[in-house]
Chains A and B, each alone.
Chain A
Amino acid sequence: MQFRDHRLPNGLEIIAECNPDAYSAAIGFFVNTGSRDENPELAGVSHFLEHMAFKGTPTRTAADVNRELDEIGSHANAFTSEEQTVYYAAVLPEWQGRAVDILSDILRPSLRDDDFELEKQVILEEIAKYDDQPPFGAGEKCMAMHFGSHPLGQSVLGTADSVGALTPALMREYFERRYSPANIALVAAGNVDFDALVADARQRCGDWPCLPVQRNMAPVSASLGFEVISRATAAQQYVVQIADGPAIEDKDRYAGRLLATILGDESGSRFFWELVDTGLAECASITPYEFQRAGVFMTFLCCAPEDTEQNLERMYDILHEAERHGVTDAELTRAKSKVCSQVVLQGERPSNRLFSVGGSWIARREYRTVRDAVESYRAVTVAQIHELIRQYSLTRCTTVAVGPLPDLNPGRFAPPRT
């Protein structure tokens, strides 16, 4: 396993975790842009642009792009989050060159008007799909309330209205502003020929114009709230809660992940034993999400409407108890064992390593091996976890409930009056 990196004169960084014994190679362009970098009138443009990249370039039609990605047997796709837009392909090593050729080409899309209108329909279908799917928008609504006017509160998909109002000109302007090579990393993992990767990148991306790029790094000041959205046709009640957590640069993010595992993993956690194993809830979990200079713990509850209030009280008790007394040695040991095993097992596939290596690089300019990650988890102490849970009180959170209930008593989750 060898880490290599190189920077082109226009600022494009090329990094790879090379493993000559791997069966495959995974290659991706990681663009440091997402819904966080949109202003409200552009809501959804990062994600829409990600779709448009596959709709063709000056030398390829949309059908060419799809056909060529299939010809090399690639498993290619893309995703957009709050802070990243990633275009990737997992291929057999012999197809590395063609994968780089196609991916680098679609990073300079034509954004043709007729393709734009057609693909807009697909995006509107995607929005409708999520509208039909639990937790019926509760996650996005909760992020919006928690982050308030901070751009991290903006939805990745946007709304039917905001996407409907987007134009090719607005998208082009956004593209030029965000897709500067200084804001992109070409990342590879697995059986990679790094010298060829650099040579191909130089030839295909070397002339991309470099423009200065900035991200709004304004500090977050979370606003707590409690809202119930009635959806009479739903069978279950869904509750999403968001509390502050470690940011992606913070060393205590490892402790944060272990804490979420102990309190809210889908199996074996305190939430699990109290709520899921007993059949009081279908699901009760905590997941950490890390962003630049901000982070959250997201709690999710799905249960019968009539049990919701009591389940929320039970969750409050569990969180409050952890704030007062911390966690036990045995719990931490088990959580480490579970999390480290997952890190190692996932690391066996280059297509998984790509996202760890690339995500870490564009957020922190840092390369960490699987072993580095395991050691960071192993080093966390019970005292650090206790310190963390005092610093980020999980009971101080924003709550959004969606389901058949017209109203819900916030109980002790009621936000403080301002």
Chain B
Amino acid sequence: MTQEIHIEQFDNGLMLLAEPMPWLESAAFTFLVPAGCSRDPRGRSGLAGFTCEMVQRGAGTRDSRQFIEDLEMLGVDGSASVSNAHTSFSGAMPAENLEETLSIYADVVLRPHLDEEEFEDSRLVCLQEVRALEDDFAQKVMLELRRRRYPDPYGRSSQGTEESLHAIEMDDIRRFFPAFYQPRGFILGVAGKLDWPRLRQRVAQLFGGWRPAPPPEIIETPITGGYHHIPHETSQTHIGVAYPSVSYADEDYFQARGAVGILSDGMSSRLFTEIREKRGLCYSVYASCHSLQDRGSVVCYAGTTTDRAQETLDVLLHELVRLSSGIEPDELHRLKARIKSVLIMQQESSMSRSGAIASDWYFLRRARTLEEIGRIVDGLTQDSINRYLASHPPQDFTVVTLGDKQLETALAVP
């Protein structure tokens, strides 16, 4: 695994990271625009998402239809989404079309029309998403869990509410766009078959003249935490549990990630074994790391029929607490084998590498090669993870359930 990651910071603050993968025929890009939903103003939640919808409806010389048709002709498999910190645009394509694709997306982030005629349709699209979420119980639980686990604005979801979306006006978009679609904090990750000097030059042409703006400060409110039940007539009770952990930027991150791997990576992991294999309580059960820049969480999900929900929550919490008594060497051995194959298989995907290097820069102000991650993983030991768990035992649980019946959470709420 020898790799090279090129990094260039432009005068206006824009970061370009590129990882050549000459064995592939494809290339992929990830734009991280510092316009996440944590920037939605009070009473206007969903504004970042609304703006993301608007900028794709006509930009530069293209109208909404030409934008999509040109991407189709270039064979771009693209997507856009809004997270707490970023609005991101990403896509993979045959490598020869990379430069042209980047120039189309440069228009999107620099020169969108923000056409008033597209405004009401965009609002309807955002409202559809809010309504569809009402029927997605698992996602609903996990979004509510995050809202309670973090202080606002870090816990919010990007969709907004019917009420807040109705309150948004064209002027809100016109204010939001120049404030947050800007080069300071903008990260562009590119991976695949690429020519670095050419790419750097092209990106300089496309984005070099972009003017930075000072980002406003974010004001936090306190955490809600505790246990919250959402009553709903359902077949299953959907259970979400979260507890504090460290950020991806923390030097202990891989200790935390290793511990979660013991809980949830693979079919011999503890949650799968104890909850599904030994007791048959669930079809879906998992735990994963969630990271913000300066803090993190472990989030867990289990879906189970109502009369077995209490037992499921009890076993889940028991396994989380039991983790602090330590992990076994053979568990770590298996985890390392799994992580190693994930790392090597990432070399088959330009899309996953372009996203990884862009995200690395956001968290670390540098990018890790797969080789470096491989060395960190090799360095994990039973002792190092157990030491981490002793100083960071799973506790202070935030619990959200959705279903017919509220559950008892003696362990969860102190």
Contacts and interface: CB of A to CB of B under 8 A. Distances in A.
Contact of B341 (A74, A267, A341, A344): A74
Given A276-B125, A278-B124, 7 more contacts: A23-B347, A122-B276, A125-B280, A132-B236, A235-B132, A281-B128, A334-B72
Given A125-B305, A302-B132, A341-B93, A132 B137 contact: yes
A310 to B, nearest CB: 14
Interface of B: 23-26, 64-65, 68-69, 71-77, 92-94, 120-129, 131-132, 134-138, 232-236, 238, 265-269, 272-273, 276-284, 303-305, 333-335, 337-342, 344-345, 347-350
Interface stretch (A65-73, A146-154, A207-215, A388-396): A65-73
Interface string A140-179: 0000000000000000000000000000000000000000
Interface-central residue, A21, A71, A72, A90, by most chain B CB under 10 Å: A71
A345 interface: yes
A76 B71 CA distance: 34
Contact of B73 (A73, A337, A349): A337
21 contacts: A21-B23, A63-B273, A65-B267, A70-B337, A71-B333, A71-B337, A72-B337, A73-B337, A121-B280, A128-B305, A132-B137, A132-B236, A233-B232, A233-B233, A233-B234, A267-B68, A268-B69, A279-B128, A341-B74, A345-B92, A349-B349
A70 B94 contact: no
Contacts of A350: 348
Interface residues of A, number: 68
Contacts of B123: 279
A337 B348 CA distance: 22
Contact of A75 (B126, B269, B341): B341
A70 B338 contact: yes
Given A277-B121, A279-B127, A350-B348, A236 B267 contact: no
Contacts of B273: 63, 66
Contacts of B74: 337, 341
Contacts of A6: none
Contacts of B77: 341-342, 345
A131 interface: yes
A292 to B, nearest CB: 29
A340 interface: yes
Given A70-B334, A70-B337, A129-B236, A345 B136 contact: no
Contacts of A11: none
Contacts of A349: 345, 348-349
Contacts of B69: 268, 334
Given A125-B281, A349-B349, A67 B268 contact: yes
A106 to B, nearest CB: 12
Interface string A91-133: 1100000000000000000000000001111111110110111
